[in-house]
Structure 1
Amino acid sequence: MKLYHNLFCRDIEAQLRFYSHLLGVGEALHLRSPIYRGIEMPGFQFGFHAPAAYRLLQLEDRITEPTSHQAVTGYPTFMLDTPDAVTKGAGRASELGGRVIKAPYATYYGQWQAVLGDPEGHVFRLSCDALPAGVSAPILHLEQTST
């Protein structure tokens, strides 16, 4: 099985450049169309739809005006090979016009992770299945609420 994830974007060329440079993955030219760009590696494809794709997919009733703080209903996570790659990627995201929402940190499930935003405000994560040397996973504390 493969996972293909697509974003609706205002500027598919700019989004392609951002993610290509951030992840070090070139454009999958066989995917190119007037309204689509994408990157691809074994096991995944990540693509960028132009606004015209809303109509093509019969999603016109789902079009929203972009804001600086859009609702987050889903996000991709890019699993990298090392904690250092996550830390460097978070810095590179800012340099490329994205933003760091949550700087690299240890998760309670033992991953090194950063929460980021791309230049159009889509949220995504960079993560690694390992922690940096000397860093331990924190204990998860959930607050109880009464009803």
Structure 2
Amino acid sequence: MVALSYTNIFTADIDRLAEFYSRLFDLQEIVESRSPIFRGFTTGGSSIGFSGPSAYDLLGLAPQEGVGDRVLQTFDVSGEGEVRALTERAGELGATLVKEPFKTYYGWYQSVLRDPDGNAFRINFQGSAS
């Protein structure tokens, strides 16, 4: 089985965005990976990283051009109440609410938001389908 080890978000301000997510989800920093262009945090079975613009050159990539969402991060929590509480907390920390907490057709309960950089993410409880 393949396992996702890291997902990274490119940002012009790694400190601001790393602080947003670490404060919202109480993430622990992987201090050994800290550099002027990167911050990494554990998130359970995988990790999330925040890469500064200099990382594009390091990785041989070019910034994406044009508008539109290209990725959607989903953060699982333990219950519907936690979805609601973290959605409210995200707003206090600078996120923009896209969609209030709702039950999906497949039985999950989630909210959709944008972080301070405008990246879409979900706060999700994988409830049982009923």
Per the normalisation by structure 2, the TM-score is: 0.90
Question: For residue 24 of structure 2, what is the aligned residue in structure 1?
Answer: 22
CA shift, 1:34, in A, is 1.3
> Secondary structure, in 3 states, of the residue corresponding to 1:17?
helix
> Secondary structure, in 3 states, of the residue corresponding to 1:22?
helix
Task: Structure 1 unaligned segments of length 5 or more: list them.
Answer: 138-147
Does residue 125 (structure 1) correspond to residue 122 (structure 2)? The answer is yes
Instruction: Output one character per residue of 1:40-99: Cα deviation in whole Å (capped at 9) or x when no partner.
Output: 133110000000111111112x3448xxxx411221101111111111111111100111
Does residue 96 (structure 1) correspond to residue 93 (structure 2)? The answer is yes
Could you tell me how far apart the structure 1 residues matched to 2:101 and 2:5 are? 25
CA shift, 1:25, in A, is 1.1
Larger Rg: 1
CA contact (8 A) 1:102 1:114 kept: yes
Instruction: Give the alignment partner of residue 71 of structure 1, picking from 61, 68, 76.
Output: 68
Instruction: Output one character per residue of 1:91-132: Cα deviation in whole Å (capped at 9) or x when no partner.
Output: 11110011111010010000110001000001010100127x
Per the normalisation by structure 1, the TM-score is: 0.80
The residue type equivalent to 2:41 in the other structure is I
Task: Structure 2 unaligned segments of length 5 or more: list them.
Answer: none
CA RMSD of aligned residues (A): 1.8
Instruction: Give the alignment partner of residue 80 of structure 1, picking from 77, 88, 93.
Output: 77
Q: Aligned pair count? A: 128
Does residue 5 (structure 1) correspond to residue 4 (structure 2)? The answer is no
Q: Percent identity, aligned pairs only?
A: 37
> Secondary structure, in 3 states, of the residue corresponding to 2:29?
coil
